[in-house]
Structure 1
Amino acid sequence: MGNILKGLTSLFKHTDINENLKEFEATPDAILLDVRTKEEYKSGHISGSINIPVDDILEIEDKIPDHDTMIFVYCHSGNRARRAVDKMKMLGYKKAKNIGGIVDYKGLKVL
């Protein structure tokens, strides 16, 4: 019963992209991955991020071949990032983390 409650609680837990970006910055060799569309990425993204849209996430194996790389994944609200992380874990990426959505980001966006 405890695992069920823990799982339900995590469904409603808000992921703070700003706190997670501090962890990204403190993690050597980590990658910041934006899984929004190319158009969304061009309209403004977090500095230092790379873009692989969630629908093209299988391309990750060409761009990030090391499955042990720490990858911090964001999108607009966190939903696509969650889907991307799930797919990445199925591909064997052990350290992919959904850090939420750029909608809550408090820093400057790069155009």
Structure 2
Amino acid sequence: MFPVETISAKMLDYYVDRADAVLIDLRDREEYKVSHVKGARNFPYEEFEEMQSYDFPRGKILVLYCDRGGASLMAARLLARKGYETRSVIGGFEAYRGRNLVFSR
């Protein structure tokens, strides 16, 4: 079992616009289009098999969130096994109330 650091939803704002971090939204494309955290890239969890072959930048912290936190924890563990430094957001997007929320129209 690879330990994954968990962070609170409030901590997401700390990682926004940081050069050493990549925010990854694991929710489906429609949910992402409606709203997401500023700068987050959308990789739906349903497509995680393909995502595992994606070459994320090495040397960056991958900060993953989903709806409530379960899927991001599993994805973060799998990516940690591949040598990535990961963070999983406890409570997921549902718990986020920060200033970097992006809404689409």
Query: TM-score, normalized by length of structure 1?
Result: 0.70
How large is the RMSD of aligned CA atoms in angstroms?
A: 2.4
Q: CA deviation at 1:51?
A: 0.6
Larger strand proportion of the pair: 2
Q: How many residues align?
A: 96
How has the CA–CA distance of structure 1 residues 103 and 87 changed in structure 2, closer, same or farther, with 3 Å as cutoff? same
Verify the 8 A CA contact 1:41 1:51 in the aligned structure 2: yes
Unaligned segments of structure 1, at least 5 residues: 1-13
| Structure with greater Cα Rg | 1
Contact 1:18 1:105 in 2 (8 A): yes
Give runs of aligned pairs for residues 34-45 of structure 1, distance below 5 A: 34-45=25-36
- Any gaps of 5 or more consecutive residues in structure 2? 1-5
Query: Take 1:44 and 1:81, find their aligned partners in 2: how far apart are those partners?
Result: 17
Give 1:16's aligned residue: 8
Identity of aligned residues (%): 24
- Higher relative CO (Cα under 8 Å, sequence separation at least 6) belongs to 2
Question: In the alignment, is the contact (CA less than 8 A) between 1:52 and 1:60 conserved in 2?
Answer: no
CA distances 1:10-61 after superposition (whole Å, capped 9, x unpaired): xxxx952112432x14843311110111122112111110011123234254
* Aligned residues of 2:16 and 2:39 also touching (Cα < 8 A): no
1:110 aligns with 2:103: yes
Higher helix share: 1
Distance 2:61 2:7 in 1: 17
2:63 is paired with a residue whose SS is: strand
Q: 1:69 to 1:60 in 2, by over 3 A?
A: farther
Query: Do the aligned residues in 2 keep the contact of 1:44 with 1:109 (CA within 8 Å)?
Result: yes
Bigger drift between 37-46 and 54-63 goes to: 54-63
Equivalent position to 1:92, from 83, 102, 105: 83
